[in-house]
């Protein structure tokens, strides 16, 4: 054990500068607003990293908040994400109540965002949703995770790779204000020692890892959005299946760009079978645009579908007075992310860039008018619904 602990904690936080250097990979590296936003993002990810390195360990598992309205680097606004460290050579029991959310999903993998700096380094992915589980009429269930099903075990079971070291859970809500989040426990089934006190060296090494965490996050997600722009340009969707994402989910991202007095109209067919879909806006640094106090996302429960069966949503800096406004909260650039989950088809939407004053010329004639009073109530209802959900 080392007793050589530096008199200043800054010695262990020098890795934060790596995240600052990621400014070079943003779209406007010399813009002071971008620099300030990235500094804020670094502090957000640094604060999250404490949960990763100090809250729990694989022998003494516990849920930590991952992405939610506080930690917003990439999350789906419909999802509350939980993180837990695991070891593939151990067995884990998840137990609790499913709640009434649209979907409850479990994923295990080797590595996850922030622990690695490249999506290709996230390997050995497995996932399932609650539709494959036996759940009691009152919502109670039990699920065992292990590399092999134990002999004679007939309950809910999920295979995980022996290399796995991360479990993620998504509470995927559809109608935020009327659904109830799950309540889950996780425990290691195998005999393990009592949770011990960390040594000074372990603490300082983990602080160093915390300081590197924001750089890893930025490097991964900046490269994702830059790749979209390089391959298909601006205001064009690129359907993709991420190997580190949910196996049944097809994403449709685009880099968006608009100016004052303009609007972007997103138009798409909808799959006939669509267990879940949504669309959201991200800022230029891959953070979900404020989605509690802004209407920056929508889904199948919230959206108004046009009379011809298509979805039309409008990105605009000002309220266009039509349904499905996606508010970018002042950002003129960013990314749009949509998701088709386990759908029978995966249509690719299109984006039209039009003058804001001409939006209705590009929508069906029977598109409703949304008054300022109706918009105010829509937003108030959203805030109340979002605040009812678990965040930490």
For residue 41, give both structure tokens. 């993002």
The number of C-alpha atoms within 13 Å of 235 and in the hemisphere containing its C-beta is 17
Beta carbons within 8 Å of 164's beta carbon, 6+ residues apart: 86, 87, 88, 108, 109, 110, 124, 126
The per-residue pLDDT for range 22-33, each reduced to its tens digit, is 999 999 999 999
Query: Which residue spans of the chain are classified as CATH 2.60.120.1600?
Result: 233-387
Residue 300 is given by DSSP the state: T
Structure tokens at 56: 């729990």
- The DSSP-derived string for 7-58 is S-GGGGGTTHHHHHHGGGGSS-TT-HHHHHHHHHHHHHHHHHHHIIIII-BT
Q: Return all residues near 205 (Cβ < 8 A) that are at least 6 apart.
A: none
pTM of the predicted model over 0.75: yes
Question: Per-residue pLDDT for 179 more than 60?
Answer: yes
Instruction: Using pLDDT thresholds of 50, 70 and 90, give the confidence band for residue 317.
Output: very high
List the one residue out of 282, 264, 239 whose CA is nearest residue 362: 264
Taking only the tens place, the pLDDT of each residue in 54-86 is 999 999 999 999 999 999 998 999 999 999 999
361's CB contacts (< 8 A; 6+ apart) are 354
The b/e string for 68-94 (b: 16+ C-beta within 10 A; e otherwise) is bbebbbbbbbbbbbbbbbbbbebbbbb
pLDDT tens per residue, range 84-128: 999 999 999 999 999 999 999 999 999 999 999 999 999 999 999
pLDDT at 392: 74
Please name the fold of domain 233-387: Jelly Rolls (2.60.120)
Q: What is the average pLDDT across 267-295?
A: 98
Task: Note the pLDDT of residue 144.
Answer: 98
pLDDT on residue 3: 63
Given a contact cutoff of 8 angstroms between Cβ atoms, the answer to whether 332 and 287 are in contact is: no
pLDDT at 2: 56
**Under CATH, what is the fold of the domain 56-188?**
Jelly Rolls (2.60.120)
Question: Residue 103's beta-bridge partner residues?
Answer: 172
Q: In the predicted model, is pLDDT for residue 352 greater than 60? A: yes
**Mean pLDDT of the chain, nearest integer:** 96
Q: Residue 50 — pLDDT band, cuts 50, 70, 90?
A: very high
Cα–Cα distance, 107 to 246 (Å, whole number): 8
DSSP H or E run through 79: strand 79-85
């Amino acid at each position: 054990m080392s007793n050589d602990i530096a008199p200043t904690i800054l010695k262990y936080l020098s890795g934060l500068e790596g995240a600052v250097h990621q400014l070079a990979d943003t779209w406007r590296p010399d813009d002071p607003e971008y620099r300030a936003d990235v500094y804020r993002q670094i502090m957000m990810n640094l604060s999250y990293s404490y949960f990763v390195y100090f809250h729990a360990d694989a022998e003494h598992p516990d849920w930590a908040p991952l992405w939610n309205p506080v930690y917003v680097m990439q999350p789906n606004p419909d999802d509350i994400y939980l993180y837990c460290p695991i070891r593939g050579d151990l067995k884990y029991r998840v137990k609790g109540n499913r709640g009434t959310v649209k979907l409850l999903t479990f994923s295990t993998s080797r590595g996850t965002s922030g622990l690695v700096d490249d999506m290709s380094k996230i390997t050995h992915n497995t996932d399932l949703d609650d539709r494959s589980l036996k759940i009691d009429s009152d919502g109670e269930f039990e699920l065992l995770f292990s590399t092999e099903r134990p002999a004679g075990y007939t309950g809910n079971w999920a295979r995980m790779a022996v290399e796995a070291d991360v479990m993620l859970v998504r509470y995927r809500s559809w109608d935020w204000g009327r659904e109830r989040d799950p309540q889950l426990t996780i425990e290691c089934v195998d005999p393990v020692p009592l949770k011990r006190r960390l040594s000074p060296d372990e603490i300082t090494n983990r602080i160093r890892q915390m300081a590197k965490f924001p750089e890893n996050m930025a490097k991964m997600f900046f490269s994702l959005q830059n790749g979209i722009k390089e391959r298909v340009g601006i205001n064009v969707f690129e359907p993709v299946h991420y190997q580190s994402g949910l196996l049944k989910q097809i994403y449709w991202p685009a880099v968006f760009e608009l100016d004052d007095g303009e609007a972007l109209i997103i138009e798409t067919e909808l799959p006939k079978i669509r267990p879940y879909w949504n669309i959201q806006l991200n800022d230029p640094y891959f953070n979900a645009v404020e989605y509690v106090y802004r209407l920056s996302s929508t889904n199948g429960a919230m959206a108004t579908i046009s009379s011809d069966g298509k979805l039309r949503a409008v990105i605009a800096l000002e309220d266009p007075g039509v349904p499905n406004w996606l508010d970018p909260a002042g950002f003129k650039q960013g990314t749009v992310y949509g998701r088709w989950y386990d759908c029978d088809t995966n249509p690719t939407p299109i984006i039209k860039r039009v003058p804001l004053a001409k939006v209705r010329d590009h929508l069906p004639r029977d598109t409703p008018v949304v008054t300022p009073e109706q918009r105010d109530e829509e937003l108030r209802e959203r805030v109340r619904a979002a605040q009812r959900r678990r965040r930490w």
